[in-house]
A and B are shown apart, each in its own frame.
Chain A
Amino acid sequence: GAGVSQTPSNKVTEKGKYVELRCDPISGHTALYWYRQSLGQGPEFLIYFQGTGAADDSGLPNDRFFAVRPEGSVSTLKIQRTERGDSAVYLCASSASGTGGMSGGYTFGSGTRLTVV
């Protein structure tokens, strides 16, 4: 696609429920990243995929969070037993290589605003 697409754009869920957030990266981009932006904060790194594998998942806050990218394209961020503190905008980004931290940076999607009530 022309840009990074994230669905849904908004998600309201009850505390304790399971949610899945989807990211469609730019076609051909091998690197995919998930970030989380809480209110009043900048985006915080969650996980980086190079192809199908998670090259760095050190930013995932706990084991309720998991992400997959089974075919090296679309990625799904999964959150189990959601808590009110999980409320944030979840941003996905992609880059042509794993050097998105330099040159032209990443291309971000518009994010999924998750609200846990």
Chain B
Amino acid sequence: DQQVKQNSPSLSVQEGRISILNCDYTNSMFDYFLWYKKYPAEGPTFLISISSIKDKNEDGRFTVFLNKSAKHLSLHIVPSQPGDSAVYFCAASALRGGSNYKLTFGKGTLLTVNP
């Protein structure tokens, strides 16, 4: 039972364009969301996060949007660069539920940015 779903296994975009990665969740206890980026043979690295009290968080080229009513979040990368090519994982935690240490991950989306 996947509580965090990334329904697109892969995404290919042209350099300079926008990349939009989507994530849906089913557990209404989740109130904090994170995106991780993973290169081959490396561990995931933290990219950006958002609390459920916000609907948007921006950090440079990366913006995360949260739609609580739809239980949906998305990561926008603008402009996309070839170095952004990696697997992106969406993750969630339940701070109010006392499990602020545990992350539930989606299966990931492989982003390829073509020069």
Interface residues of A (CB under 8 A from B): 4, 31, 33, 40-45, 48, 50, 55-56, 91, 93, 95, 98-111
Asked if A45 and B43 sit within 8 Å, CB to CB, the answer is no
Which residue of chain A lies nearest to B105 when distances are taken between CB atoms in the complex?
A42
Q: Is the CB of B32 within 8 A of A101?
A: yes
The reply to whether B49 and A105 form a contact with Cβ atoms under 8 Å apart is yes
| Secondary structure type dominating chain A contacts | loop
Task: List 8 additional A-B contacts (Cβ < 8 Å) besides A4-B43, A55-B101, A105-B36.
Answer: A31-B101, A33-B101, A42-B6, A42-B108, A56-B101, A99-B100, A102-B95, A105-B34
Within 44-83 of B, Cβ neighbours of A (below 8 Å) are at 44-46, 49, 51
- Give every chain B residue within 8 A of A101 (Cβ-Cβ): 32, 34, 93-95, 99-103
* Nearest residue, chain A, Cβ from B6: A42
Q: List which B1-31 residues lie within 8 A (CB) of chain A.
A: 4, 6
Given known contacts A101-B100, A102-B95, is B43 in contact with A42 (CB within 8 Å)? Answer: no
A44 vs B4: C-alpha distance when bound (angstroms): 11
The 4 nearest A-B residue pairs measured at CB: A101-B93, A42-B105, A108-B43, A105-B46
The CA of A108 and the CA of B106, in the complex, are separated in Å by 16
Query: Given the complex of chains A and B, what is the CA–CA distance between A35 and B99 in angstroms?
Result: 15
Partner of B4, one of A4, A42, A102, A106: A42
CA distance A93 to B106 in the complex (A): 17
Instruction: Give CA–CA (A37, B91) in the complex, Å.
Output: 14
In the bound complex, CA of A106 to CA of B94 (Å): 15
Residues of A contacting B106 with CB < 8 Å? Answer: 42
One of B43, B89, B95, B102 near A111 (C-beta < 8 A): B43
Within the complex, what minimum Cβ distance (angstroms) separates B105 from chain A?
3
A108 near B107 with CB under 8 A, answer no
Q: Please report the C-alpha to C-alpha distance between residue A114 and residue B6 in the assembled complex, in whole angstroms.
A: 25
Q: How far is the CB of B66 from chain A (nearest CB, A)?
A: 14
